[in-house]
Every structure is written in C-alpha cells, then in structure tokens.
Structure 1
C-alpha cells in the first residue's frame, strides 16, 4: 500500500548504488503533491516531473537531463511506458497500480532491469480485498509472472481477464476445443453466409449481382468423394506425421500458384511424385473449379462423375451464368450427360471420367463455355 516509508527506502537504496528511479503517477492533477512528499522524505533527491501536457521542448529537455543522470527521480505519467531505455534506472514505483492494464504494467516494469544491476518494481495499490476481482487478478499476475520470458503467460492472462469477444471468449472456447479451429471457422462462415442470403439480403444486393457471373459465392466448400486411389504412398513419404502435415497443407490450398509450389517442393524433397499422389494434388484444382461453378459435391465413382448442385432450388444460383454454363455443356454433349432431380436434389452425371485429371479437364471446359 502507499506508504511514505516504503517510498523513502526504495529511493534511498537506489541512490546508494548511484542509480535512478522512475515514479509513475498517471494523474497529472496530484503529480506535484507526490513531488512534495518525495522532497520531504528524501531531501537529497534531485527530482524532475514530466507529463504529456508539458511543452514538448521542455519535456524533451527533462528526459535528456534524466538520461544524463542530472536527476535521481523522474516523476512521470505512463509516457515512459515505451521508447525510453535508461540502463541506470533500476527502480520503478507505480502509484495506483490497480488502475493500469496488465500489459501496461508489464511494459512499465520492463523500463527497469536493462543493465547488469538487479531491478525492483513497486506496485502501490489499496489493500487487495478492497479491489475489484479483475484488478486483483492483474496485480497477482504481474507478481507471479516476473521471470524472463514470462511475457507470453502475461498476454494469455490478460486475454483471459479481459476476454476476446464472443467468438473466441469463454462462451465459445469449449466448442473450439471440441471441433478444432478449422471446422469451427467453416461453420461460422456458413452461418454468416446464410444471414447474408436471408436476413440481410437487401444489404448485399450488389454481391448478388456479382453472383450472376460466378457460382463461387453460392458454395462455401466442395466435398469430394471417390473410389480412386488418392494418397501419398508410405513408400514415397515414410513418416506418418509428415504425410498428415502435407495432407493438411494441401487441403488448405486454393490458388493454382500454391499447388505448383507445393508440387515443386514435394519433388525436391521426395523425388518424382507417384501417379496416386499426382491425382491427389489435382483434387485441389478440381475443388477450386467446382466451387466456381457452384457445385457442392463431386463424386468420382465407377468411371462416372456426379456433380451435385446447390441444394436450395429457389437459390439465385439457378439464374446465374455458372448454371448456364452447365446447361450449355449438357446440350453440347447430350449422350454422355444427364441432368437429374431426385428428392429435390439436383445433380449432373457425366460418363467416361476415369481419373481426377479428366475430371479437371471437363470442369475447365464447362467453365470456359
């Protein structure tokens, strides 16, 4: 707690080893009262006062004089929180520490201990039982995490105390832990798009106009099902965790340039890619083109490709140019294409598709019509 005796002992000890002291007080209104208290308790101390409302030239002069050790104590607001590196100042006293944020306290404490001398940080506050639970947790955290490298723990504690909003805060963290971040993001994106298309459709009228050109905005993700062998063989990549990491990296790709770079890195590390591995890589391209055409699901089985379209039959997708492209392809190749409508689910079945490479070629052709 605020005690003139503690302040006097802290300043006298620092002065006895030719050091300097920061005294932080974030209220300009009573900053000169503190100056009087320190003058009374430590008459020999050379004291300077600095705050943000002072003339910039005068403030700069005071800071430079303090750096040059012409003052023993600098009473200041939190303007010293960053950007000031004074190795000779190794004691900091923070008045009313309960009013500072955890990151602020951590930054202020970091102003001392920047040389080979042991540093001290005094946090002056009312008795803990009189403080709010959040203020008490902040002070306890800054006390507990005082070792070098504890900045990350302080940041996590700060996040826990303040919360990170509804999406990643305590209310939702359990769901993220159960589902995984990627799946949670997909569900969240679907929910946002659903609101865009239904409840807030008028606000996104311009986006709907763009949808007439492309079907991509109607589909969040494309499912791929196949009876083909699509994998990196264990003989090609022996390490299981390595293969899983590469599968995950491949699954997150969308751009053609990313696929090319991935293929080059793979060949550089493991040699020539086997056919089943090349087919797997082509799945990324297949999914990207299918998304552009507004296809929710692609099934490659028994030498046939089935394209499942947007489930909602009243969706504006069926008036889009993406759907027109599909219809044009069916008209162009009526013998190998079939448009189906079973239980309200529309799909296009295309024959003679033996592999993913052929499927990519067909979808590219459709997209180019």
Structure 2
C-alpha cells in the first residue's frame, strides 16, 4: 500500500515544479514568485518538494489557524518525522495575564525557536496572529538556555538554583512545562523546548542518564544522550529585545505567504488590539510597549524585501499549473465510477487517498460493484484536498470529499496532557481520607513526607493503620493504592498491619467472584446452544451508509461496529452492550446495525426510555437513512390514537422497517 509521499516521487521530474523551485531560489530578493493554478493539496506537495530539493528552512504563512493546521497535517504525511513544526500564537489577547496563556502553544513556539538554531532545515507552518508576536533574539535564547548531556559534570544544587533563575517552579511531581522536582540524585524537569519531560539521574556530580518519561504514568519513554533546558520564551513581562519570527529564522530562510494582503491586514489588526490593551493597563510593573512586542504590517512588509518570497497566485499567467480541484460527486458513486473510467481511458493514473482502512475497503467494494475493471492506486493516508492534473496525467482524490465527510485537523498538543490518574487522585486526597493498599488493606492517607533511605532523603506516602501503625509507601508504588469507596455516611474499619484479616477478605471475595463467574458461564453456554438468525455479509448499500457518515469513525466506533456485525452474522443470538459517553457515536452504531437487519428483510424495534428521545432518534435514523430503502417511524404518547393505529397497521403489513418508541411498542 502506497503512502502520501509516493506523490512526491511522481512529481519529482515535473517541469512546472522544477521551474517554480528554481525561480524561487534564484529570484531577486523581495520579488514575489507566484504559484498559480495549483489546486487541492498541491501547494503542500510543492512546499515538501522545496524542503527536499532546496535544503533551506521555509516559513509557510497561511491565512488562518485552520488553514495552517491542514497544511501542517499534509506536510507531516509527505515529509519525514520532525521535518515540519507548527508555530501558534501564545496569548489569547495582547497583554493577557499569565493565566490566559496557552502553555501548549508556548511550548510549541519554544520548540520552533530551539530547532531554528540548528543546522537542519525545517518547514515552519504558521499564520498571521502567531507571527504578530515578536520572539526573543537568538543571542538571548542562547544565553538563557543550557544543554545537558550524559557524562557532563553538573552539581544538583547548581541546577536547582539555575532553574529557579529561569523561573521554573519546583513541585512534587512534574506535570507541565516550566516545572521541576528534585528527589535525591534524580531531577525531573519539563523544558519548554521538548514535548515530554526529562528525568536526569546523577551519580555524584555526573549526569549518569537522561530519559524522557510520560507524565501520565511516570514510566520511561526512551533514553537520550542530551536535552536542552529552555525557559518560557513568551514571558512578555521581561524587557528583552525582540524580533519577528522571520528575522529570527535568518536571512537564508525562504518565506511562502498564502495571501500577503490578508496577512498584512491581520498583523495591523493585532497591533491595534495591543495598543488598546496597553492604554488600559494598570500595573506598577513596567511593560514593554506594543512596538517592542508586536509586528506592524508595514514593518514586516519592509523586512520581506530582503528575502525570497513565494505567494499563492491566480491561475491566469502562462506559468499556471492548470490543475483542477476535486469535483463534488454528492455521494453519487455511479457518477464517480464514470468519471474515473473517463480519466482512465484518457491515459491518466488514478490515485485515491483514504484516511482509514475501513473507508478504503468500503470504497473498493462500491467501485468493484460499479466497474469491476477499474484500476485504482490506493494510498494509505489522505491529504486535505484532492486535485486533477491532466498535464501530469494524474488524478488524486481524497475519500472524505467523495463521501462528504468532515476531515479533522490535528495539532500536536505538546504539554496539556492529563495528569496521571494516580497523581490526580493523590493530589485530591486529604489527610484522613481512606485508601486501600493491595497488600495491606484499608488505611488512612497521612500525606506526603520526606524520609531517610540509606542516607538519602526521598518522598513517600504515609499510610496510617489500626493502632496508629504507619506504613511508608514509595511514590514509585502508587499503583498499589487507590481511594477507598464506601457508602456515604459510613466509615470502614481500618486494617491491622500484619493481620491475616485483609488476605482472608480478599480470598473470600475471590471465591464469590468465581461463583458468579461460574453462573455466568452456565448462562452463556445455554445461550450458545440456542439458534438465532445469521445475517448476510455487508451489502453495497451497507457500505454506502457507513461511508456517508459525516465524521471519521473513532477507533472504538470501528471496533464496536465490527463486533456488532460479527455477532449479527453469527447464528448465535447476540448479547452485547455498547457503552460510551454522550456524543461518542453509540446511535450511529445502532443505525448501522438496524439497517443491516433491514437489508435482510427483517423489522427492527428500537426501544428508548423517554418520549423526547423517541422523537430525537426518529429524526436521527430518518436523516441517516434518507435515500436508502428503509422506512422509519415512531410511537410514543405524543401521537394520537388514530396515528398509533395507522403505525401499528403499517407495522403488521410490513411497511415499516424500523420502529422507534418507548414501552408502548411492547404493549
């Protein structure tokens, strides 16, 4: 199965691509080189080719954050990992307070600045609101950063003071950027330049090992040779000199602007907001003025005069690529098959990109039924938009547009990870709360304390048991304890350390669980002996229904759908419960299962608990099954006696395929 970067190889010798890259690299500084007539995701393919061929850092400026995110996702599928980074805005509004900043975005910005200091060319994707904020200069970042390598001589006390000077916060457990913790010869630190925190282990004054770890479970991810300590580079209360991102990227960096006039207008808009916010400041602390923190449109336009610039152009000049956007087929697959066959007869290669394996298999089945001899090249992974390129003899479609599905963009959420469950619960525990230890039973939480272990101070969890017995638990054994849940208003009895009572209680519980399991096994054995109806494999209409879902299936949705259909195709009666929060797609699974039954000439009853839900499900089922051979109706107390009689008669006559209702449908 091919991948999206296969398209890079197909365009490698393209005359139009090579002419554009050569012109961009050699044009006089300040001249705007236009990429005209490149439809769909072709601009992303050109940008990826530019990095590969020109080997220069490229700053790509799209018109807004959403466009930038889709462009980023396209480049991530076309280029090796780590070759493209996203540069977002950091503050929700100019001169915002610290609690109104986005730590995740600050981390992403710091990572870009750190990578731009290196020799490896990268693509930085951004948008006007992000570059409106100036960044600290390279010299200042060098002065405020420190690289730590395995084998380096570094005193833990000095590192502690250095991190305080960088305004890092010392905590018990590292959870987000700008935090660090010290436990004897182990230092955990979350630098703004890395997506994960690092654990530094010292042997005396020597760095013995450096490992990244997961803040959720505190487990090691990988060993590394070095890491860079970078502070919050977006602290706008500091008085350091700042410059634009493009100036920071250096004079050799190329710039690609989607729509220059839009970018300049948005820069001026952010600057005006900054001026208004600055006038309204009431602070005794001196703050830098807007011109020191933000970039005006005219200022940035003058700066661009000294570098190579590419822009998105209009397809009117002779250098236009003359490509077309992917047509809208409105889920008319016969028209799609006819169009693809026409391109095939014209000698054009057909490529279809699919974001999910399930979508690819559905589309394959549909096209096979409509035109068995159609040869299509399939790509595992979909760019944002498809295109038609007659000159290159290539047609590239994306599946989500064929099925009118929404494609979500994804931006790596670098630092805003959820805390570990154990850490959250630990932080939520109050002294005196009941906890259960897997080996020692029920005790009371006594807080975090530092104890001496072999001459080294370490943090431990204090647990108090009956008769004031105390157990100290290492923080590395958090998985052994859990908050103890009991009935409201009742207190459990504390366990006695060394007593067999807790082990006896566990043994008794295990025996009871085995008894329940035995009863369940007997029940399920009887069910397996019963014979049910084995439904047929998915039909063409089933594929069409599932492919028309407006959103991408979640992994759990895909698994649940497959499990339900496997149950239905088995002669054993189905006994399955689908669990999930509101809005996570349970109804969609029910729609698919119901239609699968209808396709085998069965009638389906959907039982719901409330009158309102009956009508809501009726609307949902009707909308999803619109255009398919399935009639949906409903029964609840809001329907008149006459309407109910008609519905029941139609149901008896087999005219209704799916009936949705409350307990009335059981009467």
Indicate whether the TM-score tops 0.5. no
- The TM-score normalised by the length of structure 1 is 0.25
TM-score of the superposition, structure 2-length normalised? 0.15
